[in-house]
Amino acid sequence: MASAAEQLAANINFAAFAKATELQKRIWYTIIALIVYRIGTFIPIPGIDPTAFANAFQQQAGGILGMFNTFSGGAVERMAVFALNVMPYISASIIMQLMATSIPSLERLKKEGEVGRKQINQYTRYLTLLLAVVQSYGIAMGLQGSQGVVTNPGIFFVASTVITLTGGTMFLMWLGEQMTARGVGNGISLIIFAGIVADLPRVIMQSLALARTGDVNPFAIFAIAA
């Protein structure tokens, strides 16, 4: 009996794939969109000292901050324009799902099919914007409170940081929706996946280095990998 790999290889028809121009366009669109996302994770927000921020980040890289950095593909470590990633959108989606089960008007919208779904999606976008503004303001104030990280602290730095980080999140939300409609797969999920995969080699090397020095139990690393 043929194995699963042999059956998959037998079903692959490269000639048919070459003729599937629509599928090729979708794949290329997805690849280009992910490249744009990765470029944005290397563009720092204006007004910060990269060296000072890197030193401050290393002191607090453990725990929740390190997890957010992994999900953002290293954008938090570089304090890039995509540092918030799509986390405000994920939070807004979860909040809207919970509210749809407890608020009668939203529950009715949920049952109205495509029209109701579009309206809920619009509410989710508004909530994403609100969460992004609040989170980016908190980041701006936190950066100002760190010694030497901000080159010119003040209202203009706070405003530019809020606009930049919020704009980055809203752009990623739009990009994810475009990938879902014109690309392959769920765009938001692909953005999160791309961020994790891009930062995975660094995380693996750091984990192995910690295991060699004895700071982390090798069995713990094996459990996490499993």
Predicted confidence at residue 219, as pLDDT, reads 74
Predicted confidence at residue 61, as pLDDT, reads 62
Distance CA 58, CA 38 (A): 22
Predicted confidence at residue 151, as pLDDT, reads 86
Q: Is residue 48 part of a domain?
A: yes
Predicted confidence at residue 64, as pLDDT, reads 62
Average the pLDDT over 36-41 and give the result. 92
DSSP output for the chain: ---HHHHHHHH--HHHHHH-HHHHHHHHHHHHHHHHHHHHTTSBPTTB-HHHHHHHHHHT-STHHHHHHHHTTTTTTTTBTTTTTTHHHHHHHHHHHHHHTT-HHHHHHHTTTHHHHHHHHHHHHHHHHHHHHHHHHHHHHHHHHSTTTBSS-SHHHHHHHHHHHHHHHHHHHHHHHHHHHHSSS-HHHHHHHHHHHHHHHHHHHHHHHHHHHTSS-HHHHHHHH-
Q: Are 172 and 72 in contact (CB under 8 A)?
A: no
The enclosing domain of 77 has a CATH number of 1.10.3370.10
Q: Is residue 58 part of a domain?
A: yes
**pTM of the predicted model as reported, rounded to 2 decimal places:** 0.79
Which one, of 32, 72, 113, 92, lies nearest residue 196 by Cα? 72
Q: Is residue 50 part of a domain?
A: yes
Beta bridge partners of 80: 44
Distance CA 205, CA 182 (A): 36
Which one, of 73, 40, 68, lies nearest residue 168 by Cα? 40
Give the mean pLDDT of the chain. Answer: 82
Which one, of 139, 42, 128, 27, lies nearest residue 82 by Cα? 42
Predicted confidence at residue 164, as pLDDT, reads 95
Predicted confidence at residue 76, as pLDDT, reads 82
Q: Is residue 11 part of a domain?
A: no
Q: Is residue 10 part of a domain?
A: no
Q: Tell me the range of 7-16, 153-162, 214-223 where mean pLDDT is highest.
A: 153-162
Which one, of 54, 50, 37, 55, lies nearest residue 198 by Cα? 37
Q: Tell me the range of 106-120, 151-165, 190-204 where mean pLDDT is highest.
A: 151-165
Q: Is residue 66 part of a domain?
A: yes
Q: Are 170 and 129 in contact (CB under 8 A)?
A: yes
What does the pLDDT look like over 153-192, one tens digit per residue?
889 999 999 999 999 999 999 999 999 999 888 999 999 8
Q: Which residue has the higher pLDDT, 164 or 201?
A: 164
Domain count for the chain: 1
Q: Is residue 13 part of a domain?
A: no
Q: Is residue 7 part of a domain?
A: no
Predicted confidence at residue 93, as pLDDT, reads 92
pLDDT-derived band of residue 18, with 50, 70 and 90 as boundaries? low
Q: Are 83 and 76 in contact (CB under 8 A)?
A: yes
What range does the domain containing 143 cover? Answer: 22-225
Distance CA 176, CA 197 (A): 17
